[in-house]
Amino acid sequence: MSVQIRADVWPARVVRAGRDPMDPIKVLIGLDRLWLYKMSGRDGALVHEWPLDDIRGSHQHGWTAVVEGDEVAITRSGNCGCGTNKSWKPFDYQIVMSRIPKR
């Protein structure tokens, strides 16, 4: 069974208050979860999985997600993501059109 997600962002930059930025990182924005994967060569490893309290934004301008009461900024990375398997998927998912409110 395929999981429905809103976006697959690679390479991404993720900033959570009080923590070091993660860049580049693969981000899957689900309907009710947020997954972050560190990519290495042809594979990725789960770094964080959070229940998604709220999310706002767009592919064009980036997103602000709320997880565990903290805001997490997700934007496209300036890194090219070269040398990794860009089509790698940690599980079977389908991207669906699900409205995300603008900022």
User: Can you tell me the distance from the alpha carbon of 43 to that of 37, in angstroms, rounded to the nearest whole number?
Assistant: 9
* Rg of the chain, C-alpha, whole Å: 13
Where are the domains positioned within the chain?
Answer: 3-95
User: Can you tell me the distance from the alpha carbon of 43 to that of 64, in angstroms, rounded to the nearest whole number?
Assistant: 26
pLDDT tens for each residue of 46-79 = 999 999 999 999 988 999 999 999 999 999 999 8
- Kindly tell me if the per-residue pLDDT of 99 is higher than 90: no
- Kindly tell me if the per-residue pLDDT of 84 is higher than 90: no
Residue range 3-95 forms a domain whose CATH class is mainly beta
pLDDT tens for each residue of 17-57 = 889 999 999 999 999 999 999 999 889 999 999 999 999 99
